[in-house]
Every structure is written in C-alpha cells, then in structure tokens.
Chain A
Amino acid sequence: MARELLKGNEAIAEAAIRAGLQAYFGYPITPQTELLEWMSKRMPELGRAFVQAESELAAINMVYGAACTGARVMTSSSSPGISLMMEGISYIIGTEVPAVLVDVMRGGPGLGNIAPAQSDYNQIVHGGGHGDYHLIVLAPASVQEAVDLTVLAFDLAEKYRTVAVVLLDGSLGQMMEPAELPPMRPVKTTFPEWAATGMMGKREKRNILTSIYLNPPDEEQTNLRLLRRWQEVEASEIRFKEYFMDDARYVVVGFGSAGRVALSAVRAARAEGIPVGLLRPVTLSPFPYEHIRKLAQRVEGFLVVEMNAGQMLEDVRLAVAGQKPVEFYGRLGGVMPFPDEILSEIQRIASGGLTLEGHPRERWLQRMNGKN
C-alpha cells in the first residue's frame, strides 16, 4: 500500500473498516463527524451495519448489543458525547464483551468548544463510568499512528474482552497527513463461543450476557476476574515512544498532539545543547509507571506537557514518587501550546528552575497569570 494524504478522522474510519469492522453506530459531533460520515458511505457499500443513532446513549448501547454477538464493533464521539456514553462503557466492561471507542477530544467542561483538547484523560483513563474498571487507552500523535492504533485497538479489545479506546484531540482528527492504510482484512464469519447469537443448533446451553450479579460475593469474583485480566494487560501491553533519551538529564512527558508539539521544542532545545528528551506514552492505560519510576533514578527532572490542567501529570507524579522534581505546562479549553512556549519551559528547567517543594500545578498557575 502506498502512502496517501488522509484526514485523521477518515483515516481512522477506513482503518477500522480494514480491520474487519462489522458494525458502526454513532452520532454526529464535532470534531469527529467526518468519521461517522465516512462510515455512512463505506459500511453500506460493503454490506456492513451502519446506524446513525438518536443519541450517544443509544449509539453505545447499539455497540453493546452488537458486541454481545462477538462482532467487531465500534463507535466514535467527542468529549460531551463520550460523557453520555459512560453508562454503556461501564456495562460493556461489566459484561466482558469487546468493543472499540474513538474519542476525538474537544474543549470543555460543558458544551465547551470544538477546538482540540486533552481534558478527557481522566474520564477515559481513570474511568468516568461507575464501578471498578480499566479501559485500554491508546493515544496516537499522528495520522499514521492513529491508523495503526485503531487496528491494534480491535485486536486488544478482542484479546482481553474489554473496551479499547483510541484517544486523540480534535487537531489530529482534522489534520491531513500522508499515511499508509493497512490491507483489508476479511470480515469474521464465525462468532465466539460465549456470544449471544441464538443457539442455532450448535449449543445445548443458552448464553446469557449480563452485568448484574446480585449476590455480592459473585460480583466480587467478577471484579477480581476483571482485575486479574487487567494485570495481564499491564504485563504485556504498555507502549511508549522515546526521543533523545539516551543521554537526557531532563525529560518532557506528553501524549498525543501535546507530545508531538513538545518534540519540536525538544529538538530546538537540543540545538541549544540542552540535554533533554521526550517520553510519549502511547498507552495511557496501562500507563508506563514502572518505566518512569526507573527514569526518575537517572534524570534530574520532568516536565509534563498537556492540553488540560494536568491530568496525566498526576500519574507521572505517582510514578516519580517524589524522587525528582516534576514541572507542568498546560494549555486549556481548546488552546494548543506552541513549541516555543514549551521550549522556554525547558530552558527555565535546565537553568535551575526545579524544586521538590509544592505542587507543579500551583507553580504553573502562577506562571499563567497575565499570560491569557
């Protein structure tokens, strides 16, 4: 396959189709609507299921139903729509059926705006729905990576019978970049043994897929099973990218677009001779805690860069555990950081602006005074 110029949202849609997507259910919301539009044309063309639902609530529950048949199924939305989907996500996890979710984040809270943001980190990574659960969260920083991670999301969701999320911001969804699409995989023709497909003369016993365990010890067992499976995910699925890290004394940590902008800043800092590297977590969940903990033993300090008020920051701090200073720089509400903003933060840190005192968010807030 040759590289072609693709828009993020459409590239994700086509990648999902080529990964063997059997059913898509969604609801229009900016900045992910092109994804739904692409599906509305391509899925019927291929004889696969597409429904524009009456709400995100309905869309996620259509996904839930289709997931119970074991089909490859997905939905996509943006932040406010994802909030509405939290109910269904919790049920899908509780029922242990696989599904893929794409969240093209925008500014919030509330209706917010349609500009790129990363403020769904907490609701996706730390769970916006009820109950104890973890999602697999993949954060691309380019259209090509969005394509690759979309395909991976289906495989991981099926492998662990869970929900895998591709989490990106609106700028990546809207961006056009050269990327190579995967080859078309054949659509599955069989259904898993556990699925609710009708017995069809193949099974003696009926399959019941439910998330209700009225007897508390049974619910506890279910929770333990989910947790043990999550331990397997943590053991095998942590992914991250590193840049200029071999001799780095300072580490910038950023995911998705913020990580990508930070890379430009890191390059510029390297040109100035500052020994700084970039760690870009690709799986936000499972999070590379252990890797960051070890990094903290050899570097002098961290700078976390996000398009939110420091949501991943708390996970980095948890990993660093006070070993080394952590600083934060964020832009909010749909504002993207420029490389030179991050560069000046790197310069400040490299010239002694590191401390173990206080909270990085408070220092950042003080520095933000008069900036906006």
Chain B
Amino acid sequence: MVMEQILPEEIVYQRPESLVEVSTHYCPGCTHGVAHRLIAEVIDEMGIRDRMIGVASVGCSVFAYNYFDFDWVQAPHGRAPAMATGIKRVLPDRFVVTYQGDGDMASIGMAEVVHAAARGENITVFFINNANYGMTGGQMAPTTLPGQRTTSSPGGRDVETAGYPIRAAELLATLEGASYVVRRSLHDPKNIRLAKKAIRTALEVQAQGMGFSMVELLSICPTNWGMTPVDSLHWLEEHMVPYYPLGDYKVAPMVAQIRI
C-alpha cells in the first residue's frame, strides 16, 4: 500500500524581526522598502538590533524610524552624519547608521557627509539614490541625470544651467578616512543580493571599528518618474547604471580581509 507522504515544510523566507509590523507610507513598488528590508535582515543576522541607533533624514525616508524596531533620532535635512557623529562619539560601542536620500546627502548635506567620511567617523551611511526629490514631488536632485525630466527641470536637466549629476560614491572614495564605499542597485534579485552583502560588509566595518562606510543604493521612484514599478526597474538599469556604475569604490586593505 502506497501512502501519500506529507513532507514537512521549512520557512525559506520571512519578514525580519528588526522591521516593525506596520505598513509603510512608501508608494507601491518603491525600493526604499527593499533597502529597509535588507538592512533589517542584516541586523537580524548579526544580532545587533539591541545596539542599533538609526539617524533618519529628511525626504521620503523621514519616517524610516517608524519601520525599524530599534532606537532612532530624526535629523534636520542633510545633517544626519553630524548627528550620527555626536551619538557615536558618546556611545562608541553602538551601531550608528544614517539613512539618507540623494537630496539630503548629496545636496544640502554634502558638507556633513564629506567631513564625516574625512574624519573616518565609525558610522555607516545608507544612501538611496533615486535621481529625484521624491517627497516634495519629484524635483531635480543633484543625482538627476542629464536630460531627465523632473517637476523642476520640465525640459529635462540642462547641464548648461543645472550642471552635472554628482557621483557620490566616487567622490567619497577619494577621502582617506573612508574605509568602505560601494554602489549597488536594487533593480533585480541578483543585484539585491549583492546590495545585502554590501550592507553586511559595511556594518562589519563598523563592528570592527574600521571607520566610515557608505553603501549607495540605486533605487526607483515610480510615482515621480511616472512609470509602473516594473518599468522603473528597467529604466534604472538602462539609464542610471551607465551613469552610476555599480562597484566597489573604496575598500581599505583591512576591509578586504573581512570574511562574512
């Protein structure tokens, strides 16, 4: 007699514990959510949730603190790396991370991030580059591509008057104090996995006191780009990746020794 065998199940994936059980305010398909999830997964895996202090920025990620189940503070626009510095200097054994968009970090907060990196501040910056100011309704950002239409560059970004987009990872990588500066993208499963690995490495850099780490994540903004989420991923791959090549821009020799 052949009995139908009921095979036991295992959970392959479930929502990380470091995420709060609430729905986010992000638009459908927004990859802020992917970035949040990856960070939360890494924190769970490293078992460091109890020692985390997040610094939220201004922009769509202003409410990041609502979604991660650990302590947070909320910085003025662009000043997250300065606030993180203040926290880290008082509590050097905590994990201090900032979560900043491109307007926040690469425009109004450029001085703060550059000097935090130059000081080799032992903090981690997660930098979400979606090529526009999402929260205020899709204006031109320092990362908006040449010719890209936004609500404040309706004819497309004119480099004659508005200049060129800033490649933040390349810029920060020139600083001696920066130990780990990489760019990843969130447009497909393979790149998402690579992004997660970079987030892990960045937090390991901080765990080992190796100094400043920054992970730039190319991200989509379907609502302001005026595309479906799936089309947005394609647009990112076709237009953003060529201008913002993915890769490791600064990996200090001691960081290269880290094995995860």
* Interface, chain A (partner B; CB < 8 A): 22-23, 25, 49, 51, 53-55, 57-59, 61-69, 71, 73, 87-88, 91, 95, 196-201, 206-212
Contact = CB atoms under 8 A, between A and B. Distances in A.
B91 A61 contact: no
B71 A196 contact: yes
B94 interface: yes
A209 B87 CA distance: 13
Contact of A64 (B51, B72, B83): B83
B167 interface: no
A69 B87 contact: yes
Contacts of A71: 90
A65 B73 CA distance: 8
15 contacts: A25-B85, A53-B82, A55-B111, A57-B82, A58-B111, A58-B112, A64-B79, A65-B82, A65-B83, A68-B73, A68-B83, A197-B91, A198-B53, A207-B72, A208-B66
Contacts of B239: none
Interface in B98-125: 111-112, 114-115, 119
B181 interface: no
Contacts of B112: 54, 57-58, 61
Contacts of A91: 76
B69 A61 contact: no
Given A58-B112, A197-B91, A66 B74 contact: no
Contact of B76 (A62, A63, A87): A87
Given A62-B82, A198-B71, A206-B69, A54 B111 contact: yes
Contact of A206 (B71, B91, B95): B71
Interface of B: 49-53, 55-56, 62, 65-66, 69-76, 79, 82-87, 89-91, 94-95, 111-112, 114-115, 119
Nearest to B66: A208
Residue of A22, A88, A196 contacting most chain B CB atoms (<10 Å): A196
Contacts of B84: 65
Contacts of A66: 86-87, 89-90
Given A54-B111, A208-B71, A201 B90 contact: no
Contacts of B76: 61, 64, 87-88, 91
Nearest to A22: B90
Contact of B53 (A55, A64, A67, A196): A196
A198 B52 contact: yes
Contacts of B89: 23, 49, 51, 62, 66
* 8 pairs of A and B residues whose beta carbons are closest in the complex: A65-B86, A65-B83, A61-B82, A210-B74, A66-B86, A62-B86, A49-B89, A54-B115
Residue of A54, A58, A87 contacting most chain B CB atoms (<10 Å): A58
Contacts of B66: 208
Contacts of B56: 210
A5 B37 CA distance: 59
Contacts of B79: 57-58, 61, 64, 87-88
A198 B82 contact: no
A47 to B, nearest CB: 11
Given A68-B83, A208-B71, A212-B62, A58 B90 contact: no
A67 B65 contact: no
Contacts of B94: 197-198
Contacts of B90: 22-23, 49, 66, 69, 71, 73
Contacts of A69: 86-87, 90-91
Nearest to B87: A65
Contact of A53 (B53, B69, B115): B115
Given A68-B83, A211-B74, 7 more contacts: A54-B114, A61-B83, A65-B86, A198-B91, A199-B49, A201-B50, A210-B74
B82 A196 contact: no
Nearest to B85: A62
Contact of B85 (A51, A68, A198): A51
A210 B73 contact: yes
A208 B69 CA distance: 10
A25 B79 CA distance: 14
Contact of A212 (B53, B74, B82, B86): B74
